[in-house]
Structure 1
Amino acid sequence: MFSGFNSFGGGFVDIPQKFEEFFRCYPVAMMNDRIRKDDANFGGKIFLPPSALSKLTMLNVRYPMLFELTANENGRSTHGGVLEFIAEEGRAYLPQWMMETLGVQPGSLLKIGSTDLPLGQFVKIQPQSVDFLDISDPKAVLENVLRKFSSLTVDDIIEINYNDNLYRIKVLEVKPETACKGVCVIETDLVTDFAPPVGYVEPDYQALQRQKAEKINKFKQDPSTYETGSMSKRINYKGILRNNQNSLSLFNGEGQKLSGKSTKKSTEPDDLSKLKVSLDGEPLRLDLPEGQLFFGFPIVVPKKSEGEEEDSDGSRFQGQGQSLRKSSKRRGKSDHESSKAKTPKSPEIIEVD
């Protein structure tokens, strides 16, 4: 009748009792559209009926509620939390990865019982594909994903969704180690270690160094494929100028000696400044190999003539201006004379004959 007494006599002690029931398991995708939550597929929590909540409250189960799920067909087990109590009576809805871990089909009988797990301190995981390496910050992604999990169990292959991509991750090791091989990941500092993804091959760094050295040596032997080769060498600019100069010459023949040897000596100047560039005549066609560009011939600045003097002080226009109205420059005279007419003075004495 009573759950227990304490050793000091008279007081009742609330001893948590274990919840254990059998349910028909179904994936989350088979839930009713009105209550289905597709995000639950990428977490570690299940859906139970409301009657399970009533029994759990009467049994005084500890929080957070953690459950051990055991397949009745093959005996496989895993752990998880509960998301909501909205499933139909006698049914339990599980994420797809949990169905695959347990190896059960929709409608299989599943035993679900309450359990206690220690707080996790360390977990080692292994991505199941090399595509996981494409994530720029996997630590931040896992911190966000593990919020949807209540527990982790060894040999579980969980699924996470990131940027519309599905990644599968296997739990290799957990600490502290227990008989149930599971830990609680709620409100705990969890150290995470990564194992190399499945199919990952460590690159041979020595072979890469040898290939890089061979590539550099090849570039040194062929200046046309190396960045230090000048544009004039790539298009044979010196040969184009020499051919153009020979085509403009009036006398292209060669002299002959009595001995039969040619009198013309092949003098090829190494300095481009020694070649004469002429702009007379028809322009020579420039044919370049495929994949090469030419950005023009060197600019020849015209020299100034001998009679032209450089205007150093900038005073090219000098002189004195003239006014349309001539002004009088005599001292003491104003520029404009008085316009008043001079009148003769009247005599003091008038004589009449």
Structure 2
Amino acid sequence: MFSNLGQSFFRAQQASGFEDYFRCYPVSMMPSSSSREVANFGGKIFLPPSTLHKLTMLHISYPMLFELTNQETGRSTHSGVLEFLAEEGRCYLPQWMMSTLGIQTGGLLKIKNCDLPLGSFVKIEPQSVDFLEISDPKAVLENVLRNFTTLTVDDIVEVSYNNKVFGIKVLEVKPESSSHGICVIETDLETDFAPPVGYVEPDYKKEKKQSQVNPAATNPGLVGQGSMAKKINYSELLKEKPNTTKFQGSGVKLSGKTIKNEEVAAQDTSGLSLEGQPAPLILPDNQLFFGYPLKPYKGDNRTDKNTNQNPLFAGQGQTLRKSKKRKDKSTQSTSAKDKTRSPDAIIIDSD
């Protein structure tokens, strides 16, 4: 009889599912944990070890999904569980989740298990224009969703990227359900982005009108070849004869010689034309053009005829040593070797 009562009680508890109340605290107040920083920018919570025992007895299937409800404000959201290591009677939530529920630190929170459909589509809205600075937002969102188990409409989740925190609001999810939430584990999720809050659409019609303005009015150098020369009538200015009264002085070459007046002549520009495309300057190999004809240097090849007649040095040299008196070469002196000259033959007496 008692066994039948126990089985009926267990079936009734299994049919009702898991439901309990906890005092909630932010993840930042949690004792030291290696996953604390990751959990603060995710969608999972921490529950006590006794909760795992109850869920195991109720045969709750994986993934374990929960509905969090603040009965004072009537707000609710969904989450998964990261670890069962919280103190008994407590649960730890990310800061964005506590803001969404509108619950204070140490407030009473109702948690029960639930089932959510696998999501196929989500539309999000960044809460700051700074989100546009991210080069690949879809790749960033894909990496962020690894820390989430569920997504609920009207939730404003927080993600951390490049030492910045961005707020993202969930606008729409598919498939739609009465719980307004989806499960994002082991599913192909299509993502759509709404314009960020505070974003102003540029006026494309005004930009189009500005682009249709004749560029020659503002920049004549953009139309044709030599348009600036046409504007100042440069070809007519070159045809004018130079006014010799402007400069009455005389020129000097780099060598120091003065220039004669006959050498200064007017530039002939009759054949100069600035119309059309300029002709290409094609030079042979190993030749450069500096804007003027090359005049080879004429070296001074004159030979000095008086070089042999007038030697460069005709004096006498002197040494720093004192001169010694030399003996007269005419006097003949016998050397010491002659005095000790050896005999021509040596006779030995045998007797």
- One-letter code aligned to 2:79: G
CA distance in 1, matches of 2:214, 2:54: 73
Instruction: Tell me the alpha carbon deviations over residues 269-298 of structure 1, each in whole angstroms, 9 at most, x when there is no partner.
Output: 877969xxxxxxxxxxxxxxxxxxxxxxx6
CA distance in 2, matches of 1:105, 1:272: 91
1:299 matched to 2:291? The reply is yes
Residue equivalent to 1:68: 67
Q: State the Cα distance separating 1:64 from its structure 2 match.
A: 0.3
Query: Is the partner of 2:212 in helix, strand or coil?
Result: helix
Residue equivalent to 1:200: 199
Check whether the contact 1:65–1:81 (CA below 8 A) recurs between aligned residues.
yes
Instruction: Tell me the alpha carbon deviations over residues 149-204 of structure 1, each in whole angstroms, 9 at most, x when there is no partner.
Output: 10000100111111112111111111111111111111011111211211222211
Q: State the Cα distance separating 1:214 from its structure 2 match.
A: 3.4
Check whether the contact 2:38–2:147 (CA below 8 A) recurs between aligned residues.
no
The number of residues matched between the two structures is 260
TM-score by structure 2 length? 0.63
- One-letter code aligned to 1:80: S
Query: Is the partner of 1:214 in helix, strand or coil?
Result: coil
Gaps of at least 5 residues in structure 1 are 5-11, 252-266, 275-297, 306-353
Check whether the contact 2:25–2:93 (CA below 8 A) recurs between aligned residues.
yes
Check whether the contact 1:31–1:93 (CA below 8 A) recurs between aligned residues.
yes
Instruction: Tell me the alpha carbon deviations over residues 51-106 of structure 1, each in whole angstroms, 9 at most, x when there is no partner.
Output: 11111111111110000000132110000000011111111110111011001111
CA distance in 1, matches of 2:270, 2:105: 86
Q: CA distance change for structure 1 residues 16 and 124 in 2, over 3 Å: closer, same or farther?
A: same
Check whether the contact 1:28–1:36 (CA below 8 A) recurs between aligned residues.
no
1:141-160 to structure 2, matched below 5 A, reads: 141-160=140-159
CA distance in 2, matches of 1:13, 1:105: 34
- One-letter code aligned to 2:118: L
1:90-169 to structure 2, matched below 5 A, reads: 90-169=89-168
Q: CA distance change for structure 1 residues 29 and 62 in 2, over 3 Å: closer, same or farther?
A: same
- One-letter code aligned to 1:129: S
Residue equivalent to 2:79: 80
- One-letter code aligned to 2:158: E
Query: Is the partner of 1:168 in helix, strand or coil?
Result: strand
Runs of 4+ in 1 over 4 A off after TM superposition: 12-17, 225-251, 267-274
- One-letter code aligned to 2:38: D
Check whether the contact 1:132–1:167 (CA below 8 A) recurs between aligned residues.
yes
Q: CA distance change for structure 1 residues 61 and 33 in 2, over 3 Å: closer, same or farther?
A: same
Q: CA distance change for structure 1 residues 218 and 111 in 2, over 3 Å: closer, same or farther?
A: same
Q: CA distance change for structure 1 residues 301 and 117 in 2, over 3 Å: closer, same or farther?
A: same
- One-letter code aligned to 1:64: P
Query: Is the partner of 1:152 in helix, strand or coil?
Result: strand
CA distance in 1, matches of 2:96, 2:208: 43
RMSD between superposed Cα atoms in Å: 3.9
TM-score by structure 1 length? 0.63
